[in-house]
């Protein structure tokens, strides 16, 4: 179990760390602004402290698979393999934004441009003003290095690998909470969810985003469960940093971080609350997430010479008031809920589920709080977006579901914890 966990954590966080370092070196950014240097130093610190403590810690959970679990594992391998086969058979990048943005940027990089130059590549395009810096460069860098060093294998295969890691991280993250068999079932349930599985067939940023969010949420949950596992805190922070570097338009990290801090500090745990070392570590993680989020904003502001697409204008307050007096705010919210559909219902149901086991209460509260915060964040975000752009319906229809799938692992996690309890109750009474 420990080997598996160390392997997965180290590979995923090393991916984030190495891509960030390569990016800063390639763009010659390190000494442009102190924030970049600070970010790299913090990230390296987190990685090495985390790596050191993950070896020292004694991992209490063990892998125990029964026949049912083995069958599920075979099914999961079949699902992952089908995604792998599909991706290795296609010659091109599919998906609109994947072609126009993520792969386009990597193609421009291959021709020798830096992202600084790519930001201002289209002086006459007023419709897609800051298009090339509207998303952080993580997936484009993966495309760039993959296509440079492994040109024979299509880059889509990386998305099958992300799916594999998502499955593995759910199994590893939930193993301690619900046991191996149920964790495998949960992982299978997540990767077979139609919209999520389709994300592994197109080269969008959503799948790596879901991977990083799920990984950080589960790491934080494990840390809240057992505060001696400090490595979970460090790696969770690195994963959350990875998520802000994949998509920055939805601040999912804010509800995650806030609910984590809230639950940590409201828990009746004097021993840990007053521990100086732990406070320093918490501060370090908090600082590095905020720094890395703003380092991308600094990059855009310094290197993009035009005006930004998503700027809030002076009439915002006016349009909010107007939308409430005319009633269009209510129809907008109703439409958002309608487009979100079944996925929202799943999240709401998982909010209502009550767990009785005292041990898991902390984790379930954490997951519920971050779900609630994110649902509010998404509704408010799409509503604010709808005030400025007539094409908000496109966002609400597809993007909302794709983007909010990052909450699915948390939501299914709550249900898995409850399911474990029910199974134990049934076993006891039988």
Partner 1 sequence: MMNNLRDNDTVKRLHLFFVVLFVASILSNSVRRFLITPDSFFGFRLIVSALVRIDLVCFVIILVLNVFRLIGSIWMKWLSILMILAGVVLSLLNFYNYDNFTYTIIGLSYNLSIKLVFYGFVLISQLLLIENIPTMLKYLRLFFEKMVGELTSTGSVVEKKAHKLYRFSTLLVLLYLVILILPMTGTFKDLSSQARDYSTIFNNEYKYILAMRDGIDTSCPIIHPPFDDNFPKEERWTHIKTQPVLRFFLFPRVLINPVVFDMGMKEEILGRYSNFCFVKVDESNSVWPVINTKEKLISFDRYGKEFFNFDTIEHNVNVDGIDIYKITLKK
Q: Are 60 and 226 in contact (CB under 8 A)?
A: yes
Q: Which two tokens stand for residue 23?
A: 């990016």
Our finding on whether 334 is near partner 1 (CB under 8 A) is yes
3-state secondary structure of 2: helix
Q: How far apart are CA 428 and CA 430, in angstroms?
A: 6
Nearer to partner 1, 194 or 314 (CB): 194
Assess 107 for contact with partner 1 (CB under 8 A). yes
Which one among 1, 4, 353, 377 touches partner 1, defined by CB under 8 A?
353
Q: Does 269 bind partner 1 (CB under 8 A)?
A: no
For residue 303, the 8-state DSSP code is H
Residues 6+ apart with CB under 8 A from 400: 336, 339, 340, 378, 382
Structure tokens at 117: 């130059």
Sign of CA dihedral 416, 418, 424, 427: negative
> Please, which residues have CB within 8 angstroms of residue 123's CB and are 6 or more apart in sequence?
none
Residue 114 engages partner 1 in binding (rule: CB under 8 A): no
By C-beta, is 125 or 398 nearer to partner 1?
125
- The least CB distance from residue 133 to partner 1, in Å, is 13
**Under rule CB under 8 A, residue 294 binds partner 1:** no
Candidate list 68, 265, 317, 324; residue touching partner 1; CB under 8 A? 324
Q: 123 near 160, Cβ under 8 Å?
A: no
Q: How far is the CB of 308 from partner 1 (least distance, A)?
A: 17
**350 lies in the binding site for partner 1 (CB under 8 A):** yes
Does position 427 bind partner 1 by CB under 8 A?
no
Is the distance from CB of 157 to CB of 88 less than 8 angstroms? yes
Q: Which residue has the tokens 């499955």?
A: 167
**At 309, phi and psi to the nearest 5?**
-70, -45
Strand residues in 274-320 grouped as ranges (E): none
Residue 373 to residue 350: CA distance in whole angstroms = 14
Contact flag: residue 390 with partner 1 (CB under 8 A): yes
Q: For residues 355 and 369, is the Cβ–Cβ distance under 8 A?
A: no
If one asks whether residue 90 binds partner 1 (CB under 8 A), the answer comes out as yes
Rounded to the nearest whole angstrom, what is the least distance from the CB of residue 396 to partner 1 in the complex? 15
- Binders in 209-228 for partner 1, by CB under 8 A: none
Q: Is 100 in the site for partner 1 (CB under 8 A)?
A: yes
Does 267 interact with partner 1 (rule: CB under 8 A)? no
240, 216 Cβ separation under 8 angstroms: yes
Say whether residue 81 binds partner 1 (CB under 8 A).
Answer: no
**Residue 55 in contact with partner 1, rule: CB under 8 A:** no
Task: Name the one residue in this structure whose structure tokens are 């460069």.
Answer: 137
> CB 325 → partner 1: shortest distance, Å?
5
The stretch near partner 1 (CB under 8 A) out of 29-37, 105-113, 272-280, 374-382 is 105-113
Judged by CB under 8 A, the number of residues near partner 1 is 61
* 151 DSSP assignment: T
Stretch that binds partner 1, among 16-24, 48-56, 210-218, 352-360 (CB under 8 A): 352-360
Question: Do the Cβ atoms of 47 and 19 come closer than 8 Å?
Answer: no
- 22-30, 221-229, 237-245, 413-421 -> range binding partner 1 (CB under 8 A): 413-421
- Residue 260 lies near partner 1 (rule: CB under 8 A): no
Closest by Cα among 418, 411, 420 to 366: 411
Does 238 participate in binding partner 1 (rule CB under 8 A)? Answer: no
Binding footprint of partner 1 on the chain (CB under 8 A): 82, 86, 89-92, 94, 96, 99-101, 103-104, 107-108, 111, 121-122, 124-128, 131, 189, 192-194, 197-198, 201, 266, 324-328, 330-331, 334, 342, 345-346, 349-350, 352-358, 361, 365, 390-391, 412, 415, 418-419, 422
């Amino acid at each position: 179990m420990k080997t598996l966990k160390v392997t997965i954590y180290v590979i995923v966080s090393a991916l984030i760390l190495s891509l960030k370092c390569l990016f800063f070196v390639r763009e010659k950014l390190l000494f442009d602004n102190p924030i970049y240097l600070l970010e790299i130093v913090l990230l390296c610190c987190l990685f090495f402290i985390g790596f050191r403590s993950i070896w020292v810690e004694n991992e209490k959970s063990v892998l125990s698979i029964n026949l049912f679990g083995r069958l599920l594992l075979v099914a999961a391998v079949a699902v992952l393999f089908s995604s792998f086969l599909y991706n290795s058979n296609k010659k091109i990048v599919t998906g609109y934004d994947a072609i126009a943005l993520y792969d386009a940027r990597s193609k421009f990089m291959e021709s020798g441009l830096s992202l600084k130059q790519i930001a201002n590549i289209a002086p006459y395009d007023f419709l897609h003003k800051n298009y090339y810096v509207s998303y952080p460069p993580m997936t484009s860098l993966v495309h760039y290095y993959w296509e440079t060093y492994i040109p024979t294998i299509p880059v889509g295969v990386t998305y099958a690998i992300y799916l594999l890691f998502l499955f593995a991280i759910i199994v590893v993250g939930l193993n301690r909470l619900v046991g191996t068999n149920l964790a495998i079932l949960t992982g299978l349930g997540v990767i077979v969810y139609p919209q999520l599985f389709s994300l592994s067939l197109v080269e969008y940023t959503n799948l790596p985003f879901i991977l990083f969010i799920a990984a950080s949420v589960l790491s934080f949950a494990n840390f809240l469960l057992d505060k001696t596992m400090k490595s979970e805190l460090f790696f969770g922070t690195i994963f959350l940093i990875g998520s802000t570097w994949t998509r920055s338009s939805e601040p999912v990290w804010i509800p995650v971080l806030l609910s984590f801090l809230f639950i940590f500090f409201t828990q009746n745990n004097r021993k840990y609350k007053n521990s100086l070392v732990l406070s320093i570590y918490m501060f370090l993680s908090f600082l590095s997430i905020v720094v890395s989020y703003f380092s991308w904003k600094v990059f855009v502001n310094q290197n993009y010479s035009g005006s930004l697409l998503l700027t809030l204008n002076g009439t915002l307050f006016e349009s909010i008031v107007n939308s409430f007096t005319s009633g269009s705010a209510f129809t907008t919210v109703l439409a958002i809920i309608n487009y979100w559909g079944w996925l929202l219902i799943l999240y709401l149901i998982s909010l209502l589920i009550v767990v009785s086991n005292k041990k898991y209460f902390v984790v379930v509260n954490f997951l519920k709080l971050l779900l609630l915060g994110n649902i509010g964040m998404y509704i408010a975000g799409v509503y604010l977006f709808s005030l400025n752009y007539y094409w908000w319906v496109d966002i609400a229809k597809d993007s909302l579901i794709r983007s909010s799938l990052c909450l699915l692992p948390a939501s299914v996690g709550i249900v898995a914890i409850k399911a474990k309890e029910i199974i134990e109750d049934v076993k006891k009474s039988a």
